[in-house]
Amino acid sequence: MTEHSDRVANASTNASVDPDTVEWPVSLAGVTESIVTTLGPNDRWNAAPLGLFAGDGDENDDPVTAKTWGNTRTRRNFHRQGEGYVQFTVDPVAFADAALSISEFDEPILESANAWVRVAVEQVDSGTEGETEWEEWTLRPLEANVVAETVPTIDRGFGAVIEATVAASRLGVPAYDQDALRERLEYYASVVDRAGSEREREALERVRDHAEW
Amino acid sequence: MTEHSDRVANASTNASVDPDTVEWPVSLAGVTESIVTTLGPNDRWNAAPLGLFAGDGDENDDPVTAKTWGNTRTRRNFHRQGEGYVQFTVDPVAFADAALSISEFDEPILESANAWVRVAVEQVDSGTEGETEWEEWTLRPLEANVVAETVPTIDRGFGAVIEATVAASRLGVPAYDQDALRERLEYYASVVDRAGSEREREALERVRDHAEW
């Protein structure tokens, strides 16, 4: 029952478009998880999770921001290219792959994207947390497209997959209590076991494989 | 950027509608959390969570099912009325209220519903788990309406609120390890603290209040 509207909010081919008028295709509040694709030196698009921090609504004074953690492909490609494609997908396998493995594509837009936004990125801050260097970036939409809107649903299995990717990505990082992470992973696995869809089960298997958990 | 289509999938006023052709307004797989409103003897609509178990796609042979746990208003009203309104909402406060308090309304449709389905319910099984009597029901859609479709997003704060309501509802139930529940609740609170929207913070406060946690 999805609706494929293929509605281009602001076409990049329209030279008269004022970038300030391009809007995010979702309403952002708190932190929203996305997948960003960035063009690498191998001419392929790398997909990785990116947490979007909502601004206060006035995008010029207080734009959406995101942090890169460590010397990742996303960080290097942001520096090299100054832009990327932020995608909104609810495919648990796409998310698990992007989070825990090198996930690269020939095209910037993921097949499972419900919407995407090409953003200009600018580094505005940096620091260190634990042993990890982070950089903070502003993200300004240049072009946005809604591919498919749906009735959003609450799926505990899906949430459990997302949390499992977070916990798995912290395995081996000394700042985190490893026993607590493993207990949480077992609990998320039990939620997927009880409430998950086939696709969520597949995603959890990817988490187990990638994280050797 | 939501799209209010107010599309009535099958109007109940159309007497020629074959109930077998009314479809769920979302694609169900695994367990999907919903809120069901049922008419009580006080002539008010009681809102409570209901986990929908997807059938195999053939709704006649293998319909959507749900379980009621204990002698709840939902169970009693299902027996009395034989129907209810299943709603799909992603408002964390509506979900927390429905899950943890007596939440009653004059009208069956929640303000925050992105879609709703009037369903005929039939009890098909029952049993006991721990000290709780459950009943299993089939749910057959009689009438469905999509109110607003959106680009679905991944919000860890939202997921944490949902998991917190689940954990909070198990506090005091001997079958569950109470220390593990409290540890999980603290973790979910930390996720909402870091990643939550204003609405998710408000919902978590409701969980704290209702559960005296």
Residues B131 and B163 in one domain: no
Question: Is any Cβ of chain B less than 8 angstroms from the Cβ of A166?
Answer: yes
Q: Which amino acid is at A34?
A: S
d(CA B209, CA B101): 10
What single DSSP character describes residue A14? -
pLDDT digits (tens, 9 = 90+) for B87-136: 999 999 999 999 999 999 999 999 999 999 999 999 999 999 988 999 99
Residues A132 and A169 in one domain: no
Q: For B26, which of A31, A151, A187 is closest by C-beta distance?
A: A151
d(CA A50, CA A125): 16
Task: Tell me which residue range forms the domain holding B179.
Answer: 156-211
Question: Is any Cβ of chain A less than 8 angstroms from the Cβ of B17?
Answer: no
Residues A119 and A171 in one domain: no
Size of interface A-B (CB pairs under 8 A): 141
d(CA B32, CA B9): 20
Question: Is any Cβ of chain A less than 8 angstroms from the Cβ of B25?
Answer: yes
pLDDT one digit per residue (tens) for chain A, 213 residues? 333 333 333 333 333 455 568 999 999 999 999 999 999 999 999 999 999 999 876 656 789 999 999 999 999 999 999 999 999 999 999 999 999 999 999 999 999 999 999 999 999 999 999 889 999 999 999 999 999 999 999 999 999 999 999 999 999 988 899 999 999 999 999 999 999 999 999 999 999 998 878
Q: What are the chain B neighbours of A95 within 8 Å (beta carbons)? A: 154
Report the CATH number that the domain containing residue B199 is assigned in CATH: 1.20.58
Provide the 10 A C-beta neighbour count for residue A95: 26
Q: For A197, which of B29, B33, B148 is closest by C-beta distance?
A: B29
Where is the domain boundary, B129, B149, B169? Answer: B149
Q: Which structure tokens are listed for A56?
A: 């206060």
d(CA A28, CA A26): 6
* pLDDT on residue A59: 57
| B183 Cα to chain A: minimum distance (Å) | 10
pLDDT at position B9 over 90: no
* The 3-state secondary structure of chain B, one letter per residue: CCEEEEEECCCCCCCCCCHHHCCCCCCCCCEEEEEEEEECCCCCEEEEEEEEECCCCCCCCCCEEEEEECCCHHHHHHHHHCEEEEEECCCHHHHHHHHHCCEEECCCCCCCCCEEEEEEEEEEEEEEECCEEEEEEEEEEEEEEEEEEECCCECHHHHHHHHHHHHHHHCCCCCCCHHHHHHHHHHHHHHHHHHCCHHHHHHHHHHHHHHCC
Count of domains forming chain A: 2
Residues A24 and A119 in one domain: yes
Where is the domain boundary, B104, B134, B149? Answer: B149
Where is the domain boundary, A109, A133, A149? Answer: A149
ipTM of the complex, rounded to two decimals: 0.89
In a mutational test of the B interface, the residue from A2, A150, A192 whose CB has the highest number of chain B CBs within 10 Å is A150
Residues B120 and B23 in one domain: yes
| A29 Cα to chain B: minimum distance (Å) | 5
